[in-house]
Amino acid sequence: MAVPDVDGRDIPDGRIDVHTHAIAPELAAPAPGRWPSVERTAPDKARIMLGGSVYRQVDDRCWSAERRLADMDADGVAVQLVSPIPVTLSHDKPAAPAAALCRQQNEFLADLCGRAPDRLRALGAVPLQDVEAAVAELRRCVRELGFAGVEIGTLVGTTELADPVLDPFFDEAAALGAFVLVHPVDQTLDPRAIGLGLGFGLGMPSETAIAGAGLVSRPPRRLGVTVCLAHGGGALPQILPRLDRGASLDRPGEPLPTERARELWCDSLTYDADSLALSVRRFGADHVMCGTDYPFVVRESPAGAVLDDVDPDLAAAIGRTNALAALARVSSAPRP
């Protein structure tokens, strides 16, 4: 039985995958230099470029709604949240071209998701290095383009997500009920992890842990927004008790990081039921949602496979109902 959305649309049965990616097959670099762009190499193939270098080969699953929907049907996925490929976020680059790139990506995502609005919901891009511009683009994404929220990186140039300078962005996201996916970006990973050839396995979870640790440590404020850490929260679930120990010595009387981690959400993309269980314990059974990294080779396939070893009620929450609750917050936020 379909569940009525608060927008009045029906959401089909099946899992809700909050972590998938897409990119325009003709994405243009917004300025000269080491900006991302896409070169089409065949009707169903393209390559993502960073300046003059090839970053990744991709295929039409990145831009074809039809291919995406066929894969979703085969995998039992009702709805995907579709976000930019993190390498394109460009939080470390000049703000004006970054804002132009965000708008270009958001127009593409609006078109892609508009082809199947009951199955595809976008998470847009925002130029977070210019907080005022990011707030405006976030508002446009949610209010004008109907997006569920946005995707952001774990670091904005040299600014941590915990820096109060970003408060206007998080405040606006909270007011909109927006879903904010926090995703590590290759360019900000520890060079040691890259040097070891472990950017994916070590660099990304470490990077997410640093950003997440900042959010639950300093400054002592509530985010009040659906902030979802990718990849099960990276290494954060494992290190929270150690953060507690340090915080209790450095800042006695303040809420502990483990308590504040309950303000965050994460996806289920851990590839391992034991790791997922720890994420559930840290963030809460109602704060973990299915995520796969579709359509990339690292994706979990079939979607939510890790839930096969999970209690059925918990699997249902992670696979669907927790994400429905998050989407309802976007739809039900008061409009000015």
Backbone angles phi, psi at 155, to 5 degrees: -150, 140
* Total number of residues that touch Zn ion (CB under 5 A): 1
The pattern of x and - marking residues 69 through 88 that bind Zn ion according to CB under 5 A reads: --------------------
Q: Give the nearest distance from C-beta 251 to Zn ion in angstroms.
A: 33
List of residues 6+ apart from 254 with CB closer than 8 A: 220, 247
Q: Which lies closer to Zn ion via its Cβ, residue 299 or residue 320?
A: 299
Which residues 270-299 are close enough to bind Zn ion by CB under 5 A? Answer: 293
Output the CA torsion sign for 84, 88, 93, 94: negative
List of residues 6+ apart from 53 with CB closer than 8 A: none
Q: Which lies closer to Zn ion via its Cβ, residue 84 or residue 257?
A: 84
Q: Give the nearest distance from C-beta 206 to Zn ion in angstroms.
A: 16
Q: Give the nearest distance from C-beta 230 to Zn ion in angstroms.
A: 6
Q: Give the nearest distance from C-beta 62 to Zn ion in angstroms.
A: 12
Q: Which lies closer to Zn ion via its Cβ, residue 71 or residue 293?
A: 293
Q: Which lies closer to Zn ion via its Cβ, residue 136 or residue 305?
A: 305
Q: Give the nearest distance from C-beta 17 to Zn ion in angstroms.
A: 11
**Chain position whose Cβ is nearest to Zn ion:** 293
Q: Which lies closer to Zn ion via its Cβ, residue 205 or residue 257?
A: 205
CB 229 within 8 A of CB 206: no
Which two three-digit tokens encode residue 137? 């683009």
The pattern of x and - marking residues 103 through 142 that bind Zn ion according to CB under 5 A reads: ----------------------------------------
Q: Give the nearest distance from C-beta 297 to Zn ion in angstroms.
A: 12
The Cα diameter of the chain in Å comes to 60
Q: Give the nearest distance from C-beta 268 to Zn ion in angstroms.
A: 13
Q: Which lies closer to Zn ion via its Cβ, residue 75 or residue 293?
A: 293
Entry field: residues in the chain: 336
Please count the CA atoms within 13 angstroms of the CA of 288 that sit on its side-chain side: 30
Residue 259 CA to residue 262 CA, distance in Å, equals 6
Using the rule CB under 5 A, is 300 a contact of Zn ion?
A: no
Residue 119 CA to residue 121 CA, distance in Å, equals 7
CB 168 within 8 A of CB 135: yes
| Residue 148: closest CA among 329, 303, 6 | 329
First to last CA, the chain: 33
**To 5 degrees, how large is the angle CA 329–CA 331–CA 336?**
100
Q: Which lies closer to Zn ion via its Cβ, residue 133 or residue 264?
A: 264
- Give contact residues for Zn ion (rule: CB under 5 A): 293
